[in-house]
Amino acid sequence: MNFDHSPKVQELCRRLTCFMDDHIIPRIRQHHDDIAAGIFPVSFVDDLKQLAKSEGLWNLFLPDLKADEGGAGLTNLDYAPLAEIMGRVSWAAEIFNCSAPDTGNMEILHMFGTGAQKKHWLAPLLAGKIRSAFAMTEPDVSSSDATNIQTIIRRDNANYIINGRKWFISNAAHPNCKVMIVMGKTDPDNADRHRQQSMILVPMDSAGVTVERNIPIMHHHSPEGHCEITFRDVCVPTGNILGGEGDGFMMAQARLGPGRIHHCMRSIGQSELALDLMVERALERKAFGKYLHQHGAVSEWIARSRMEIDQARLLVLKTADMIDKVGAKSAAKEISMIKAVVPKMQTVIADRAMQVFGAMGISPDTPLADIWTWGRALRYADGPDEVHLRTIARLEIGESRNSPGATLPYLTPPLRT
Ligand SMILES: Cc1cc2nc3c(=O)[nH]c(=O)nc-3n(C[C@H](O)[C@H](O)[C@H](O)COP(=O)(O)OP(=O)(O)OC[C@H]3O[C@@H](n4cnc5c(N)ncnc54)[C@H](O)[C@@H]3O)c2cc1C
C-alpha cells in the first residue's frame, strides 16, 4: 500500500484548499444566516458551482467517468483527501457536485442506466442542473434489512404503478430535486428474497407523489430535507426501471459501497475540524489558574482524538485502495469497518470538543453540535452500526473457518499422563 498522493492529486488538493479559503469559508456566516432567514437555496450556491466547474473542481468522485463524460478520472484513493477537505464545511460538497445522495444516484445511472435514462437524468445531474433523492427506507418495516421493504411496483402494460410510504429521504425537499430512485418490490413472491426488489426512476412531480413532511434530525432542520413521502398509484413508463426487474437489491449494494466511503472521508474532515477547534479553545482559555490544555483530562482528549483520526484515516485510505484494486464487493469487510468506526469517532471527538468549549459548545455559535448530529445520523444512514458489525464478524469468522486448527500450535495445554 502506498498512500502518497500523486502530483496531480496534490495539485488538486492545493487548488481545492484555495477555493475553500477564498470562496467557501468566508461565506459560512452568510450561508448560516440565509438558512436561518428561510432563504433556500442559498443565493450564492449556483454562482459558486459555476466557478468550481470553470476551475475543473467538479465531479471529482466518479472513478469510471472519463474527462469527455465530465469526470476528473480520479480513483477512490485519489478522491479521499479531496473529500476530506470538502468535509470541513457541511454544504461544501454540493459546490463541487460531490454531495450525497446525488453522487450515489449518478453512480447507479452511470453503471446501470440505459442511453435514454442517462440522457434524461444523468446528464443534468452531472452538469449540476438538477438534484435527486434515493428512496428505500420505510416507516413500517425494519429497513436495515432491504428484503423487508413493502413498496409495490406493479407492471401495468407499458407502465409501472407504485404504491408505498418512505421516510428519511434526503434531499427530497430541495426545490431542484427532480427525480428519485425508488426501491420497491416487483416480485414479492419470488423464492429468492434478493430478487424481489427493483429500482425505478420517479420524477418528483409525478401525480401521486406527496412529500408529507420534512423530518428534523435531533433539533436540526435541513432545508433540503429528510422527508416522509407517500406514493399513491404513481404511474411511470416501463422505461424508468433501472437495470432489470429483480436487480434492485444488487444495485443497492453497488450504490452503497462508494457512498459509504465518501461519507467517511468527509467525516474525517469534520473530525479534524472538531479537533482544531478543541485545541485552539484549550490554548486560549484558562480555568483554575491553568490553560485548559494544561489540565490532564483535556490534553488526553486532544491526544486520543489525534490518534483516533489518524487510525481512521488509514483505514479509510486502505478501504479506498481496496475498492480501486479489487472492487467494492471484495472490500465489503473494510467498507463495513470504516462505516462502524468513523461516524462514531466523529461523535466522540465532537463531544470532547463541545465539552472543552463549555456551554458554547452546544450552541449554534460553533459547528460542533452540527458535527455531532451528523456523525450520530451517519450511525444509521447507509446501514446502522450493528449491521456493519454483523458483516465484519461474519466475514472474519468465515475466514477463520477456512483454516480450522490454525491456532492449535500456539496452545500449550499441560500434558496428561
Ligand atoms: C440523516 C439520515 C438520512 C437518511 N437518508 C436516507 C435516504 O436518503 N434514503 C433512504 O432510503 N434512507 C435514508 N435514511 C434511513 C437509513 O438508511 C435507515 O434509518 C437505516 O437503514 C436503518 O433503518 P431503520 O431506520 O428502519 O432501522 P431498523 O432497521 O428498524 O433498525 C433499528 C435498529 O435495530 C438494530 N439492528 C438492525 N439490524 C440489526 C442486526 N442485524 N444486528 C443487531 N442489531 C440490529 C440497530 O441498532 C438499528 O439501529 C436516512 C437516515 C438518517 C438518520
237 and 196 housed in the same domain: yes
**Cβ 383 under 6 angstroms from ligand 1:** yes
Residues 254 and 357 in one domain: yes
Residue 94 near residue 18, CB atoms below 8 Å = no
Contact 305, 352 (CB under 8 A): yes
The pLDDT tens digits for 30-58 are: 999 999 999 999 999 999 999 999 999 99
Separation of 256 CA from ligand 1 center, angstroms?
13
Please report the pLDDT score of residue 350 as a whole number.
Answer: 98
For ligand 1, say whether the CB of 150 is within 6 Å of any of its atoms: no
Helix (H) or strand (E) run with residue 279 in it: helix 248-284
Q: Is any atom of ligand 1 closer than 6 Å to the C-beta of 170? A: yes
Angle at which helices 102-112 and 248-284 cross, to 10°: 150
Please indicate whether residue 387, judged by its CB atom, sits closer than 6 Å to ligand 1. Answer: yes
174, 232: one domain: yes
What is d(CA 219, CA 101) in angstroms, rounded to the nearest whole number? Answer: 22
> Do 92 and 155 fall within a single domain?
no
Output the domain CATH number for residue 154.
2.40.110.10
Residues 348 and 389 in one domain: yes
d(CA 100, CA 105): 8
Length of the chain: 417
Ligand 1 atom nearest the C-alpha of 101 is: 8
To 5 degrees, how large is the angle CA 47–CA 16–CA 77? Answer: 125
Q: Which domain holds residue 25?
A: 7-99
198-219 burial, b at 16+ Cβ within 10 Å, e below that, comes to bbbbbebebeebebeebeebee
* Closest residue to atom 49 of ligand 1, CA basis: 384
What would the grid cell of residue 330 be?
Answer: 471484495
Which pTM value belongs to this model?
Answer: 0.96
Residue that terminates a domain, selected from 213, 242, 271: 242
Q: Residue 256: enclosing H or E segment and its boundaries?
A: helix 248-284
Tell the burial category of 159 from Cβ atoms under 10 Å away from its Cβ (0-12, 13-18, 19+): middle
Neighbours of 75 (CB within 10 A): 15
Q: Is residue 92 part of a domain?
A: yes
DSSP character at residue 184: E
Within 8 A by CB and 6+ apart from 390, the residues are: none
- Does residue 177's CB lie within 6 angstroms of at least one atom of ligand 1? no
Q: Among residues 51, 79, 99, which one ends one of the domains?
A: 99
CATH number of the structural domain spanning residue 31: 1.10.540.10
What confidence category does residue 67 fall into, taking pLDDT thresholds of 50, 70 and 90? Answer: low
pLDDT for res 66 = 67
In a shared domain, residues 219 and 257? no
Asked if residue 117 belongs to a domain, the reply is no
Tell me: do 236 and 265 sit in the same domain: no
Lowest mean pLDDT among 106-110, 173-177, 256-260: 256-260
Number of domain units in the chain: 3
pLDDT of residue 212: 98
pLDDT at site 253: 83
Q: Is residue 282 part of a domain?
A: yes
Q: How far is CA 294 from CA 279, 299, 354, in A?
A: 11, 7, 17
Q: Are residues 44 and 63 in the same domain?
A: yes
Q: Given this model, what pLDDT does residue 415 score?
A: 76
Per the CB < 8 A criterion, the answer to whether 45 and 94 are in contact is yes
Q: How many Å lie between the centroid of ligand 1 and the Cα of residue 36?
A: 29
Confidence band, pLDDT 50/70/90 cuts, at residue 116 = very high
Asked whether residue 414 is domain-assigned, the answer is no
